[in-house]
Amino acid sequence: MEVVVSEDSPLAGYLEGEGGEEPQGIPGREHDASSRSSSPTFAPRGRPTVRAKFRSKLPPPLRLAIPQNNAVAAIHNTCSKALNSRLGRADNARFLEHFRYTIVASQLLSAHSYLGQAVHGASRDSSVRTPNAPLPGSFTLAGAASTALLAFLLAWLIHWARGDGDSSAGKGRIMVFLAIMTVFVTVGYAYVRRQWLQYLRQQTLMEISNFVGIAHDFDMAAAGALTLVQEVELVSRGYRLSTPLPPISRLEDRGQTRRCARLRKALRLCFADVIPSYNQACIVLKPFAEELDVEKYFDIYDVSDTDILEALLGYSETEFDDIGSIRVLKILAARFHTARKIFLCCLMALDAHGGKPDFLRWGSAIDEIRGVRAITEQAEARLREILTEEESFPVPPTPKLPMTPGRERWRAQLRKLNSLSSGIRGLQAKLHVLREESDKNLNESEDLSELGTDLMIQYESIGIDLKALMQEWEDGKAALVTNIDRNERRISSMSGILSPTTSLGGLTAVEEGGAADALKSLNGESRSRSSMDFSASDAEEVFEAVAIPRQRSTLTREERISKMKEERVRRESMKSRTEANTHMLRELESVINMRPRGRTAPAGRVTSI
């Protein structure tokens, strides 16, 4: 970079006075001055002559004495590390980065809609421990050798200090032993504190990884349960499933019978268990977190003050009038999602300095993470068990009614539906794989020539599954029809009541017995059927039959509406004709009543011959 010095500055005067001035410099300066007076410019011109003059006056370079890495410096660093019980800044930053990355990469703080629309194929990579994270409490060969060497040195020092303890040399040995033990205890205390803090951090990373995995499992179970309840309610009301689902929470308020009552109760009880535990964990961790960091994370992940107040309400039996409705379940799901967000933000706002306060801070964090993980795991296990039972037809361990051959046959018929359900779930899994592979090929692959072949292979596989499902459905339907026909053709030969004979005096039972039976009949007393003697010829055959259920109307909604309108018009016409006939009869009756009657002749004299 060229150095430019103004001509009228003191530095220019100093340089001109000390340096040798060339004779051709004066005309050049006069020419430059005349040119500047005519056209002022600020750009440097010509070859710079100041550098050579100024270079000779530069001060000598500053030479710093860098100490060599000698033995004294190495010993000093070793002693400093041995006596320092705090972890370094690099270790603290590495731990915080690993801890926060595990939470952020888990997608538990993502902005997707809560449980009802959660993605079932969420990434689970964060729940796996990284290879760089050492296993807590692991034993190594170097550690075992160091422990054995220290134990041997301690025993030798004790033996050496005990020898000749009465002399001055023995007292000196004791003093040396005490000094060595003091240094050993100090170094050991610092080392144990560092190792314990490292152990706490490893435990924290392991617990947060396990918590992320359990949280994903609970999300999938709760999302499946809530989605199943909504789909069953929609199908039972005659709606078709679509994406997104229709607003079943509005349709549910119309007083129709609700489905999946057991699953609703299980989901509500799960939320009632986990929401207060998350709120309590947030209350415990809030004093240890940095206030500015908490506000920053709330702002990043869209947690407003209204959401915080809503989540802190927790769960109450008396808060809602209808605690089993889908609307209440969605409200509880939103509160759970917000409470977990607040809990994770408080965890990420925890700081690590490597000192004594970290023991209490991260010890409390481990306890809270472990507590919410255990409660979430229990809730997920209960919900998963009930959800599995709702999706299948399990045999109850203690049936309410005795197991009869007919009942067992019908239960076997219901168990055939399990295979249909498994086939449908397998078909859904294949469709999911097809969608993922298609998206991957369209977004990442440059050569799309093999995409059609892969899609055709997947379509063939899906077609095979559909054919297998149709075959299974036909077999189950045929078995059901066979059972129904067998039940209809069944004939029971039970005894029936005999028909009494008819006589001139009414109904007379010919087999009534003696006078005692007649007296009982007159007094209204009932007789046991065992006292009646029936012969084989008098017995009747009673046939059983199963009423065929009324066929469901196959008309569409528009056809039913038009049919109702026609029926209404027909009823109105019949009513009008009936009223017209009634009016006509009343008019005739009134005319007849108003008609004047003729006078009757007076009675004549009656004479007898």
Residue 244, preceding bond cis, omega within 30 degrees?
A: yes
Place 26 in a pLDDT band, splitting at 50, 70 and 90: very low
* CA atoms of 582 and 388, how far apart (whole Å): 67
Do 241 and 167 belong to one domain? yes
Give the three-state DSSP class for 496.
coil
Do 296 and 272 belong to one domain? yes
Please state whether beta strands 506-508 and 501-503 pair in parallel, antiparallel, or not at all (unpaired): antiparallel
480, 413 contact by CB (below 8 A): yes
Do 342 and 212 belong to one domain? yes
| Residue 490 pLDDT | 56
116, 230 contact by CB (below 8 A): yes
Contacts with 496 (C-beta within 8 Å, 6 or more apart), sequence order: 539, 540, 541, 542
| Residue 531 pLDDT | 41
Give the three-state DSSP class for 514.
coil
Do 195 and 314 belong to one domain? yes
pLDDT digits (tens, 9 = 90+) for 203-244: 999 999 999 999 999 999 999 888 888 888 877 777 777 666
| Residue 121 pLDDT | 43
Give the three-state DSSP class for 556.
coil
* CA atoms of 400 and 596, how far apart (whole Å): 82
pLDDT digits (tens, 9 = 90+) for 367-392: 999 999 999 999 999 999 888 877 66
Do 169 and 287 belong to one domain? yes
| Residue 452 pLDDT | 77
Inform me whether the pLDDT recorded for 576 exceeds 70.
Answer: yes
Please count the structural domains in the chain. 2
Place 471 in a pLDDT band, splitting at 50, 70 and 90: confident
Do 339 and 464 belong to one domain? no
Helical H runs in 84-140? 89-105
Do 296 and 420 belong to one domain? no
Burial of 126 (0-12, 13-18, 19+ CB in 10 A): buried
Do 165 and 194 belong to one domain? yes
| Residue 49 pLDDT | 59
Average the pLDDT over 189-212 and give the result: 88
Contacts with 331 (C-beta within 8 Å, 6 or more apart), sequence order: 320
Question: For every residue of 251-317, which 3-state class applies, written as one string?
Answer: HHHHCCCCCCHHHHHHHHHHHHHHHHHHHHHHHHHHHHCCHHHHHHHHHHCCCCHHHHHHHHCCCCC
* CA atoms of 242 and 245, how far apart (whole Å): 5
- Domain contains 429: yes
* CA atoms of 319 and 328, how far apart (whole Å): 10
* CA atoms of 293 and 286, how far apart (whole Å): 11
| Residue 593 pLDDT | 84
pLDDT, averaged across the chain:
73
- Domain contains 172: yes
pLDDT digits (tens, 9 = 90+) for 413-435: 676 777 777 777 777 777 777 77
Contacts with 412 (C-beta within 8 Å, 6 or more apart), sequence order: none
Inform me whether the pLDDT recorded for 502 exceeds 50.
Answer: no
Place 6 in a pLDDT band, splitting at 50, 70 and 90: low
Do 415 and 374 belong to one domain? no
Higher per-residue confidence, 543 vs 269: 269
Place 253 in a pLDDT band, splitting at 50, 70 and 90: low
Higher per-residue confidence, 55 vs 188: 188
Do 247 and 339 belong to one domain? yes
pLDDT digits (tens, 9 = 90+) for 111-133: 554 554 444 444 444 344 443 44
- Domain contains 556: no
- Domain contains 239: yes
CA distances from 14 to 4, 9, 33, 45, 50 (A): 14, 9, 20, 21, 11
Min mean pLDDT across 77-91, 103-117, 122-136, 503-517 is at 122-136
359, 200 contact by CB (below 8 A): yes
Characterize 309-342 residue by residue with b for buried, 16 or more Cβ atoms within 10 angstroms of its Cβ, and e for exposed: eebeebbeeeeeeebbbbebbbbbbbbbbbbbbb
- Domain contains 367: yes
* CA atoms of 311 and 334, how far apart (whole Å): 8
User: Which residue, 318, 215, 218, is CA-closest to 266?
Assistant: 218
pLDDT digits (tens, 9 = 90+) for 268-318: 999 999 999 999 999 999 999 999 999 999 999 989 989 889 888 888 888
Inform me whether the pLDDT recorded for 108 exceeds 50.
Answer: yes
Average the pLDDT over 59-71 and give the result: 67
Please give the backbone phi and psi of residue 542, each rounded to the nearest 5 degrees, phi first. -110, 125
Higher per-residue confidence, 95 vs 420: 95
Q: Last residue of some domain: 456, 485, 514?
A: 485
Percentage of the chain exceeding pLDDT 90: 20
Give the three-state DSSP class for 56.
coil
Percentage of the chain exceeding pLDDT 70: 60
| Residue 566 pLDDT | 92
- Domain contains 255: yes
Domain that holds residue 410: 405-485
Residue 270, number of CB atoms within 10 A of its CB: 24
- Domain contains 117: yes
Contacts with 249 (C-beta within 8 Å, 6 or more apart), sequence order: 325, 326, 327, 330
Do 432 and 319 belong to one domain? no
| Residue 133 pLDDT | 44
Do 347 and 474 belong to one domain? no
Across-strand partners of 506? 503
Q: Last residue of some domain: 431, 456, 485?
A: 485
